[in-house]
Structure formats: structure tokens, C-alpha cells
Amino acid sequence: MLKSRQLLFLGLVFFLSFLVIFLPASSIRFVTNAIPAIDFSTTEGSIWNGSGRLRVTKLYAGSLSWSVDPVQLVFGKLAIEWVLEDQTHTFGGAATIRLGSMAFSFDGLIEAATINRVLAPYNMNLNGALHLRSIKATINKSEGPIRIQGHMRWDGGTVQYHMSNQRFQRELPALLGELQMVEGIPSMTVRSETDDTPLIRARLDDDGWVHIGITKRFTRLIGQPWQGSEPDPAIVMEVSEKLL
């Protein structure tokens, strides 16, 4: 025979399950409204299986759809599969949340049109799509800060940019990026698909600043060779910007 506490627990599980199933998708705004940079609208479906339009810092990010796996709730996990898509980008992945930890993974495709909207303030534009593969982030209280890993590939192509009031154009090869943790800091190294020499090194510090370093080899690749005596892998320029 089931004890009263077990019956109470089962009743609570069933109650919460039905509550989640029938809550409208618009209920997710109770969470997103607390994050000023995120706006979620035009919701459809339920909080269990729904969709809506997502804006991040007032920029339209696309249509976000999600599905919660009810079976995983029995094991104390919230497992969500999601897709974010627009005409010029698509992301799809999964998130798992449990007490004390969270895991997030996705693949994605970003067309040049989306990339160029980001690059526009820097007077740059390019062609060629960016492919994101097996991007993973995990947070575990017992293991310390966030851990990130994954791979990127840009198809290569024409890059146009302004420098010293002049316009330049270069043809660049396909580039590969590797995301990893370096001394506990999320970092990325970019190399040519045909040459292992680092071209760009980026890192995200604990204060939310992203630091992007350009190597001597990259200055040669874009037709603006650095005149110093440093070796090709050495960082000769670095810019920083507040990201988070």
C-alpha cells in the first residue's frame, strides 16, 4: 500500500503536469519580462509545446518554438528542444535543467545577411555563411563557472571594409573556429582551413568583456601586413567590447 506521503507526492506531480500542459505559451512572459533585453510576443500553443516571436535588445531574432519532454520531469530534469529561425539564420538545439546544473547545446547556420547586420557599425560586410556545430555550454555549481566548447566554419569569400577613409576588398579562404575553455575562460581560436597558424584569438572575461586579438598572420591575409618583427602567431592588435 502506498503511504500518505507517497500519495501526496504523486498527486502533486499529476497536478503540476496538468498545470504545465494547459498553461498558455504566453505564460513564459512571466520569466522573460524580468529580463529587459528580451521581448517575447505573438505566442501560440502551450508552455509545454509552443512558439513565439523573439526580440533581443530590440532586434528581431526570429521565431522561437519549443517542446518540453514530460518523461524527463519524472527524473527531476526539465528537458527542452527548441528551434530559432528566420529567413537568414537557423538554430536548433536542446537544454537540460536540473537542480544545481544546466546544459545547453545547439547547431546553427547564419547567412551573410545576418552577419552583415552585426558588422554594419564597423563598416564591414562579407559573403559566405557561418556554420555552428556542436556548440555546448554547461553550468554546474560543483564544478565552478560555465564551460563552453564547439566548432565554427565560415565558408570564405569576399570581405569589404573601410580603413583610414579608404575602402578595401579581399578574398579570404574558409575559416575554422574552435571554442574551448582556456585557464577557465571561454575562448575561441580562428584559423584558415588550409593553415594551422592562428589568425584571431578571442576570450570572454568574468566582467562580460570580449577581447579580440588579431595576429600578424591575419594582417597579411587581409592585405594590411604588420611591419614588426613578431612571429606570425603573435597578437599585434586587440580590441575589447562589453558583451554582457
pLDDT single digits (tens) 3-49:
555 445 544 554 455 555 544 445 454 444 545 566 777 777 777 78
pLDDT at 185 (0 to 100): 87
Using the predicted structure, report yes or no on whether residue 117 has a pLDDT greater than 80.
yes
Please return the burial class of 198, using the count of CB atoms within 10 Å of its CB with bins 0-12, 13-18 and 19+.
buried
Rounded Cα distance between 169 and 14, Å, is 62
Q: Which amino acid is at 214?
A: I
Give the number of other Cβ atoms within 10 Å of residue 110's Cβ.
19
Contact criterion met (CB below 8 Å) for 203 and 187:
yes
Q: What is the pLDDT of residues 78-89, one digit of tens each?
A: 898 999 999 999
Q: What is the pLDDT of residues 175-193, one digit of tens each?
A: 999 999 988 888 999 999 9
Cβ contacts of 114 within 8 Å, gap of 6 or more: 86, 88, 89
pLDDT at 184 (0 to 100): 84
pLDDT at 17 (0 to 100): 53
> What average pLDDT is seen over the chain?
82
pLDDT at 34 (0 to 100): 47
pLDDT at 58 (0 to 100): 67
Higher pLDDT, residue 17 or 114 = 114
Q: Which amino acid is at 71?
A: V
Q: What is the pLDDT of residues 57-84, one digit of tens each?
A: 667 788 989 898 877 877 888 898 999 9
pLDDT at 244 (0 to 100): 64
Percent of the chain's residues with pLDDT above 90: 41
pLDDT at 211 (0 to 100): 92
Over residues 82-109, the mean pLDDT reads: 91
Across 47-51, 92-96, 198-202, 219-223, least confident range: 47-51
Question: What cell numbers appear for 53 in the block?
Answer: 516571436
pLDDT band for 204, please (50, 70, 90 cuts): confident
Percent of the chain's residues with pLDDT above 70: 82
Using the predicted structure, report yes or no on whether residue 160 has a pLDDT greater than 80.
yes
